[in-house]
A and B are shown apart, each in its own frame.
Chain A
Amino acid sequence: MRNSPAIAAAFEMTPGRYPEHTTLGLYRDVLSQALREWHVRPGQLDGLLIPPADMAADRPDVLMHERFIDELGIRSVLSETMFAGGASYALMVQRAALAIADGRAEAVLCAGAGKFPKLDLDTRRSMSKIFQPQFELPYGPTIPAMYALLATRHMAEYGTTAEQFAAVAVAARRWAMRHPQALMRPRGEIDVAAVLASPMVASPFHMLDCSVPCEGGGAILVTSGEVARRICAQPAYVRGMGEFHSHGYQSQADEFGVSIGAREAGRQAFRTSGLTPGDIDVVEIYDAFSAMPLICLEDLGFCGKGKGGALVESGAILPGGELPLNTYGGLMSFGHVGDASGLSMIVEGARQVMGVAGERQVASAATALVHCYGGMQADHGTLILAREA
């Protein structure tokens, strides 16, 4: 792309509990800490992309970019409160990269913070807006069960097993043990038996097949290559981008054993990058539930359809393996920070390519693929990041 858009800096709060903060308070922490850590002043930014706050609440706060361009004192050429669930941030990076390639912007801040809501009666009621009111809601849908519909179908079509889904959770924990900020690191490693022995939530998902709710946030700075090289030693250039929206309500998916969005967004990302799955060194896939990375790996082209179970069981996704997956622990072991959940895998993909992933750094990480989805698999965004523009 023209002007070599790149992730120049990435920041993430330690996921946890921040009872002293409202969501807006978390945002202020994220913004101030990120800019301080990066040695970037607000005046150097010319764009801000940010999601609505408290999407699970009855009334989300949608006047976010107006508030924060004002508080930061930014005069911007590109600002928007934009939302596509867990895919929001992947799409923000794409919007920023395109504006930079077009010469319209130079340094766009993408930020998010979230509190995974306490599941009290009011919150559970207001969260049910993601389900079709007449044709899903009367049947008692839950988010785990709606994702489980894909997993069950995958098992029936391809013979995938609960042990293979569990292997994804086990690998995530192994990686989390190498990340000082990971929420589940103090709990230690887990094995397949522990996943299968944890309480069943919605078959085939056990508790340890599910992501871990917490609070936090992060930020990503997308700049032109020229600006990025002044800010960091090794930018993570945005080499490929893809987006797809496959359905609105989960019961309306065209296929269930498949992530259509990963297939289509992934295809675009590979086409625009000129790379193939064989060229990718590190993979970060949104893992609300253990089955999703397994299914998405297939649909992104990392193995044949139906071969994801064998792939994750082979050890390829573990530290030292050939296809390192969710090298920071993923949402299952790093933590699922509510509305900001779609940021952490981009932060990690960028850090791996920048070579700043510490103890968990994959030695040969010249390229990373990040795939995010949200809105009950409706929204998909894929990024391919690379050391070379």
Chain B
Amino acid sequence: MTDPRPVPVPAASSAPYWEGAAQGRLLLPFCSDCARHFFYPRAWCPVCMGRNLVWREASGRGTVHTFSVVHAAPAVGFEGQVPYVIAVIDLAEGPRMMANLVNCAPEAARVGLPVRVVFEQRGEMRVPQFTPADGY
């Protein structure tokens, strides 16, 4: 049976992000004018609106900023995933991004948990996800 979960549709401004993910690389947009990463990818830097954007590969390391374990009324396509963990990750590079905690018992989820990126097949795409870092 095919995976019923939503498959992201890249936009022009995010295509490199999803191409990177397909190769197992987490690429973050970096504004050359303000010398900082941001998330999520968009056509301009949300601080200075500059368009001198480059893509930089992230370390893939981060910590859990906050999370919730979905037990009931799951999102469309996630009916078979319950219970699943929605988390906001503080990336080592600074920005925050949403992901699921995968290969992690829901009761092991906690704020501050060190995590690393993994890539999950979703249709023809691969979606960045996070899993407890080695040693945890």
Residues in chain A within 8 A of chain B (CB atoms) = 119, 121, 124-125, 128, 132-142, 144-146, 148-153, 156, 199-205, 207, 251-252, 256
Contacts and interface: CB of A to CB of B under 8 A. Distances in A.
B66 A152 contact: yes
A202 B75 CA distance: 12
B77 interface: yes
Contacts of B88: 149, 251, 256
A119 B111 contact: no
Nearest to B110: A156
B67 interface: yes
Contacts of A135: 8, 39-40, 97-98
Contacts of B110: 156
Contacts of A139: 86, 98-100
| Minimum-distance CB pairs A-B, first 8 | A148-B68, A156-B111, A140-B78, A153-B66, A140-B75, A251-B98, A145-B68, A135-B40
A197 to B, nearest CB: 14
Contact of A202 (B9, B11, B69): B69
Contacts, number: 111
Contacts of B67: 149, 152
B68 A202 contact: yes
B98 A136 contact: yes
A203 B73 contact: no
Contact of B72 (A137, A152, A200, A204): A200
A156 B14 CA distance: 33
Given A139-B100, A202-B73, A207-B72, 10 more contacts: A134-B11, A135-B97, A137-B8, A140-B84, A156-B112, A202-B72, A204-B68, A251-B96, A251-B98, A252-B40
Nearest to A251: B98
Contacts of A152: 66-68, 111
A144 B98 contact: no
B51 interface: no
Nearest to B99: A139
A201 B73 CA distance: 7
Interface residues of B, number: 40
Contacts of A201: 70-73
Contacts of A132: 40
B50 interface: no
B81 interface: yes
B14 A134 contact: yes
B71 A200 contact: yes
Nearest to A210: B73
Interface in B76-124: 76-78, 81, 84, 86, 88, 96-100, 106, 110-112, 122
Given A137-B8, A156-B66, A142 B74 contact: yes
B75 A142 contact: yes
Contacts of B106: 203
Interface in B1-22: 5-11, 14, 18
A205 B76 CA distance: 20
B65 interface: yes
B127 interface: yes
B100 A153 contact: no
A150 B66 CA distance: 8
Contacts of B8: 133-135, 137-138
Contacts of A204: 68
B73 to A, nearest CB: 6
Interface string B44-78: 00000000000000000000011111111111111
B65 A153 contact: yes
A137 B6 contact: yes
A146 B71 CA distance: 13
B111 A153 contact: yes
Contacts of B76: 121, 124-125, 128
B72 to A, nearest CB: 5
A284 B71 CA distance: 29
A147 to B, nearest CB: 8
A149 B84 CA distance: 14
A144 B98 CA distance: 15
B86 A141 contact: yes
B83 to A, nearest CB: 8
Interface centre among A132, A152, A201 (most CB of B within 10 A): A152
Nearest to A122: B76
30 contacts: A128-B75, A128-B76, A133-B9, A134-B10, A134-B11, A135-B40, A137-B6, A137-B8, A137-B75, A138-B7, A139-B86, A139-B99, A140-B70, A142-B70, A144-B70, A144-B73, A145-B68, A145-B86, A146-B86, A149-B68, A153-B66, A156-B66, A156-B110, A156-B111, A200-B69, A201-B70, A202-B72, A203-B68, A251-B88, A256-B65
